[in-house]
């Protein structure tokens, strides 16, 4: 099969990141040619400032040297600028006449510095600050000249000024705005930062408009810049003028090719140009949904989506990015994210310690953190940014929010993250990863020298966080503090399923649905799995996603289940097994107890225990005895309690109104109905239910995945509880008037969880991720959707083993088990696919 030809114009960070991701997905799909205007490989532009300051050298900031292109069979035309795109012939042409044909073209032309249109802008000594050549020119100027003026007090301008001060120059920053970094800071934060920078030797002229640049006689009599005149007539000596007044997307080549441009090359969510789908674009040259991004993190997000489509998967979408700014200027930490200016409908929490050099402002709107800005103490910046990005309700922690993640979470009973945000204060000798003996200095050195941007890259190069994972949060904080604005923490749900693939759980589920995949080998082939047979992490997840998406088409693969599920018992630490027969709703009979006792004696079971879920556990069963003991229990009418499965475990009940003088509802009857209805239901993780007959809640319904509590008017239903390592109290979902409504609401919620939950994600984590409002909208408020969810659950379970086929089934249970669906099997299957895509 002929390889397609991919040509990339531009050799910067966003473009090369796209190639790196593409080589992971489809290394043999393309012959790749790259044109770069600079005579270098790909380097880290974020680290130009440390080079200017003398802290690093050019070789230290290279991300992909020339050997990388050769090793990956990429043709690199370095130092050659593309001047023409012939879309009809699908050819690009460089300024030296070099041509390359393309099947797919990737534009990564970056941005151009904005040069003020003032007299004298062409004089020697007037430069922009965008690349290695500019940096080297500034270093040379600092070696022989004294006075520098930086025009622009944004991120780039202050970094340039800082480097020149460290090089020994007297630096004045001229800025048109009322305060420095006016796009990243509010005025109080900017004033505090300015005071710190002035103490380091910088001078500032704010609200100042440049009129012209004046020449002086330089070496050999040639003119060069010598001063800057402001519109108020004042003069500032300037042997060097650095233009850092902003950037513009570089669209010249795209415009000449008649691609639609509007403050950037306009692209779709797949990063294809809206004019020509053969042409893709990423990076600072792009306009996506009206926004052009200049920070590395969103550009890398674009790169991953673009590579996904170039690889032929077609399942990634770029929806835009929430950005944050974090930098260190001469030892002063600065952070901002979101809408930190506030305004109508917003509340502000402010801490301003001028003497201590600390300023913090948190902006809240509708009980959510809308934005944050900080100077001096930015240790919790990554946490605040996460809250802004996720839109999490912070009402409960509002009183503690200003004092940071560690304090807020300790007050809410979660001390798991305390101390993580102190990474910047740790000495380089501090051990971060105890499993592998990795210290902070080793991690920081690897990040800088190897050009690392992600947790996975740090794991690969240093082994930190690659074993038990307890130091993961600290490693992420070190990444954030080292990279500043270049780092964006990755949501755990956006990470690949495992090392066998680059696809996330959501992408895998979407592909199974959209491509109608029904087997693990077929799924691995379509998604280009890196390993031929997968691993113990991805195979169980794939198996669940297949059987939950296509319940009567996908073939359940026993070898993709854990040993407990294959053995129908829980393995114990001594190698023996635990057998738990099901007792519907916690009820049993003398005959069942007699069968359990007989089995315990016959197979010499050493321990018989009553479980917390109101079942009887036979502990210490030998593996060889498992088939026989289950045969005996089945003969007595007892089926598995699935105590080992990612499935329905138990429905715990109190004695309810059947016996209790306080009971308001028949808890045992309701529990039995729920358990029999849900028998055979596989789910992302284990599911436990409880039914309490009155608000005294003896069945502990408040910490179950679904908890039902009887009240005088019917029932209250709670969801997403968890009594595990970290107890999660269930959240109120709705009220139900009768048993039928309890079954429908509960079933609909569990089906939504089955369809949207990621494998090994408990209901509490699922609801935390999607939000209770999302669940209520689909299960409570939309009656038609609730009924559709419930019917899909029953459809999925209709061929499950009937646990009461030979028992006296309750009429309602029989009704639900044999319900006539409104669509036939084929229609129900399509209905499932449509619902998932919605």
Question: Concatenated DSSP letters for 52-64?
Answer: HTTSS-GGGGEEE
Q: Residue 491: pLDDT above 60?
A: no
- Non-local (6+) Cβ contacts of 226 within 8 A are 214, 215, 216, 237, 238, 239
Structure tokens at 697: 């809640």
Short-list 307, 284, 318, CA closest to 109 = 284
Q: How many domains does the chain have?
A: 7
Handedness of CA 400, 405, 409, 415 (dihedral sign): negative
Do residues 356 and 304 both lie within one domain? no
Tell me which of 263, 282, 310 is where a domain ends: 310
How does residue 219 score in pLDDT terms, banded at 50, 70 and 90?
Answer: confident
The Cα-based distances of 419 to 130, 380, 390, 425, 474 in angstroms read 37, 10, 22, 10, 8
Q: Residue 469 and residue 606: Cα distance in Å, rounded?
A: 37
| Residue 317 token pair | 């979408």
Helices and strands, number each (H, E), in the chain = 27, 38
CATH number, domain at 788? 3.30.413.10
List, for residues 419-468, the tens digit of each pLDDT value.
344 566 677 877 777 656 688 899 999 988 888 887 878 887 887 876 54
User: Cβ distance 236 to 174 under 8 Å?
Assistant: yes
Q: For residues 683 and 708, state if they share a domain.
A: yes
- Asked if residue 531 and residue 462 are part of one domain, the reply reads no
Please check whether residues 433 and 287 belong to one and the same domain.
no
Structural contact between residues 198 and 227, judged by C-beta atoms closer than 8 angstroms: no
* DSSP sequence for 302-329: HHHHHHHHHTT-----------EEEEEE
Is 813 within a domain? yes
Tell me how far apart the alpha carbons of residues 72 and 65 are, in angstroms, rounded to a whole number. 11
What's the whole-number average pLDDT of the chain? 86
Separation CA 180–CA 334 (nearest Å): 12
When pLDDT is cut at 50, 70 and 90, the band that residue 832 belongs to is: very low
What is the rounded distance in angstroms from the CA atom of residue 374 to the CA atom of residue 378?
6
**What's the pLDDT at 406?**
65
Are both 237 and 259 inside the same structural domain? no
Regarding whether 520 and 442 lie in a shared domain, the answer is no
| Range 707-721 burial, b when 16+ CB lie within 10 A, else e | bbbbeeebbbbbbbb
Q: What is the CATH number of the domain that holds 582?
A: 3.90.480.10
Assigned domain for 261 exists: yes
- Cβ contacts of residue 804 below 8 Å, gap of 6+? 676, 813
397 part of a folded domain: yes
Q: Is the per-residue pLDDT at 486 higher than 90?
A: no
Q: Is residue 463 part of a domain?
A: yes
Q: How far apart are the C-alpha atoms of 697 and 420, rounded to whole Å?
A: 38
- Please tell me the predicted confidence (pLDDT) of residue 827: 33
The whole-angstrom separation of Cα 456 and Cα 180 is: 36
Q: Residue 360 is inside which H or E element, if any?
A: strand 358-365
């879920």: which residue's tokens? 613
Mean per-residue pLDDT for 219-242? 92
The verdict on residue 496 lying in a domain is: no
Residue 803's pLDDT band (cuts 50, 70, 90): very low
Mark which of 245, 268, 291 sits at the end of a domain: 245
Task: Identify whether 498 is part of a domain.
Answer: no
Given a contact cutoff of 8 angstroms between Cβ atoms, the answer to whether 615 and 581 are in contact is: yes
Say yes or no: 88 and 66 in one domain: yes
Cα angle 810, 812, 818; round to 5: 100
Query: Does one domain contain both 133 and 236?
Result: yes
Please state the rounded mean pLDDT for residues 343-368. 89
pLDDT tens digits for range 56-82: 888 888 889 899 999 999 999 999 999
Match 């080297």 to its residue by tokens: 136
pLDDT at 799: 64
Q: How far apart are the first and last CA of the chain?
A: 37
Residue 569 lies in a domain: yes
Asked if residue 437 and residue 370 are part of one domain, the reply reads: no
What is the predicted pLDDT for the residue at 806?
32
Query: Per the domain annotation, does 495 fall within a domain?
Result: no
Tell me, yes or no, whether 692 and 783 share the same domain. yes
Report CA-CA distances (Å) from 181 to 152, 187, 328: 9, 9, 13
Residue 256's Cβ-count burial label (10 Å; 0-12, 13-18, 19+) is exposed
Whether residue 726 sits in one domain with residue 577: no
For position 405, which CATH number holds? 3.30.390.30
Q: Among 194, 210, 245, which residue terminates a domain? A: 245
> What range defines the domain where residue 433 resides?
422-490
List, for residues 11-55, the tens digit of each pLDDT value.
Answer: 999 999 999 999 988 999 999 999 999 998 999 888 888 899 888
Same domain, 368 and 435: no
142: CATH: 3.50.50.60
Looking from the CA of 472 toward its CB, the CA atoms found within 13 Å total: 13
Q: What is the value of pTM for the model shown?
A: 0.59
């Amino acid at each position: 099969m002929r390889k397609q030809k991919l040509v990339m114009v531009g050799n910067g960070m966003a473009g090369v990141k796209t190639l790196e991701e593409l080589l992971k997905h489809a290394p043999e799909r393309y012959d790749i040619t790259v044109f770069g205007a600079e005579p270098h490989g790909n380097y880290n532009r974020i680290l130009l400032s440390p080079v200017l300051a003398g802290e690093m050298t050019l070789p230290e900031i290279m991300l992909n040297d020339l050997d990388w292109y050769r090793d990956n069979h990429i043709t690199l035309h370095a130092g050659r600028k593309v001047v023409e795109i012939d879309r009809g012939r699908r050819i690009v042409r460089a300024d030296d006449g070099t041509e390359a044909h393309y099947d797919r073209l990737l534009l990564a032309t970056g941005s151009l510095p904005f040069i003020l249109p003032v007299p004298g802008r062409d004089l020697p000594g007037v430069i922009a600050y965008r690349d290695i050549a500019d940096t080297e020119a500034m270093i040379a100027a600092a070696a022989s000249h004294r006075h520098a003026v930086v025009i622009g007090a944004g991120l780039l301008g202050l970094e340039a000024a800082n480097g020149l001060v460290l090089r020994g120059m007297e630096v004045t920053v001229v800025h048109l705005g009322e305060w420095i970094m006016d796009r990243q800071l509010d005025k109080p934060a900017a004033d505090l930062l300015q005071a710190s920078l002035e103490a380091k030797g910088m001078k500032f002229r704010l609200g100042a408009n440049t009129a012209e640049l004046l020449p002086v006689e330089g070496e050999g009599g040639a003119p060069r810049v010598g001063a800057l005149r402001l519109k108020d007539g004042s003069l500032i000596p300037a042997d060097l003028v650095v233009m850092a007044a902003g950037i513009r997307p570089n669209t010249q080549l795209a415009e000449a090719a008649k691609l639609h441009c509007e403050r950037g090359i306009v692209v779709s969510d797949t990063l294809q140009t809206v004019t020509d789908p053969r042409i893709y674009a990423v990076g600072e040259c792009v306009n996506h949904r009206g926004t052009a991004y200049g920070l590395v993190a969103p550009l890398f997000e674009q790169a991953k989506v673009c590579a996904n489509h170039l690889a032929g998967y077609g399942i990634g979408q770029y929806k835009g990015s929430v950005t944050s700014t974090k930098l260190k200027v001469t030892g002063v930490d600065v952070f901002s994210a979101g809408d930190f200016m506030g305004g109508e409908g917003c509340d502000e929490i402010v801490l301003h310690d001028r003497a201590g050099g600390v300023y913090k402002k948190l902006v809240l709107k509708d009980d959510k953190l809308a934005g944050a800005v900080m100077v001096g103490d930015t240790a919790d910046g990554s946490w605040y940014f996460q809250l802004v990005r996720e839109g999490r309700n912070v009402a409960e922690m509002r009183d503690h929010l200003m004092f940071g993640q560690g304090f807020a979470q300790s007050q809410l009973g979660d001390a798991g993250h305390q101390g993580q945000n102190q990474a910047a204060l740790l000495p380089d000798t501090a051990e971060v990863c105890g499993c592998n003996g990795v210290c902070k200095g080793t991690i920081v050195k690897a990040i800088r020298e190897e050009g690392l941007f992600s947790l996975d890259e740090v794991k690969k190069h240093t082994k930190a966080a690659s074993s038990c994972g307890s130091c993961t949060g600290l490693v992420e904080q070190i990444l954030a503090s080292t990279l500043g604005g270049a780092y964006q923490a990755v949501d755990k749900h956006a990470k690949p399923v495992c090392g066998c693939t680059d696809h996330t759980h959501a992408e895998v589920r979407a592909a199974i649905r959209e491509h109608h995949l029904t087997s693990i080998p077929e799924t691995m082939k379509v998604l280009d799995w890196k390993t031929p047979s997968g691993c113990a992490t991805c195979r169980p997840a794939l198996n669940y996603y297949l059987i939950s998406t296509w319940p009567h088409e996908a073939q359940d693969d026993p070898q993709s289940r854990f040993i407990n599920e294959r053995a129908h018992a829980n393995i114990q630490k001594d190698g023996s097994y635990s057998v738990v027969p099901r007792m519907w709703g916690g009820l049993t009979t003398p005959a069942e107890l007699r069968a359990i006792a007989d089995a315990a004696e016959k197979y010499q079971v050493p321990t018989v225990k009553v479980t917390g879920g109101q079942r009887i556990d036979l502990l210490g069963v030998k593996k060889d005895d498992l088939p026989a003991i289950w045969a005996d229990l089945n003969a007595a009418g007892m089926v598995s309690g699935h105590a080992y499965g990612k499935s329905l475990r138990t429905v715990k009940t109190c004695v309810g109104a059947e016996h209790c003088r306080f009971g308001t509802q028949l808890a045992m009857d309701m529990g039995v109905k729920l358990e029999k209805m849900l028998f055979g239901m596989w789910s992302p993780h284990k599911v436990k239910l409880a039914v309490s007959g009155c608000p005294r809640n003896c069945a502990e319904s408040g910490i179950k995945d679904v908890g039902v509590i009887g009240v005088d008017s019917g029932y209250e239903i709670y969801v997403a509880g968890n009594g595990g390592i970290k107890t999660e109290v269930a959240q109120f979902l709705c009220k139900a008037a009768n048993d039928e409504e309890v079954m429908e609401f509960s079933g609909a919620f569990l089906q939504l969880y089955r369809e949207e939950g990621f494998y090994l994600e408990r209901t509490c984590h699922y609801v935390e991720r999607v939000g209770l409002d999302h669940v209520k909208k689909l299960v409570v408020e939309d009656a038609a959707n609730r009924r559709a969810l419930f019917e899909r659950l029953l459809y999925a379970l209709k061929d499950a083993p009937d646990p009461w086929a030979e028992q006296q089934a309750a009429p309602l249970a029989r009704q639900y088990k044999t319900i006539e669906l409104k669509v036939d099997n084929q229609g129900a299957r399509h209905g499932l696919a449509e619902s998932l895509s919605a």
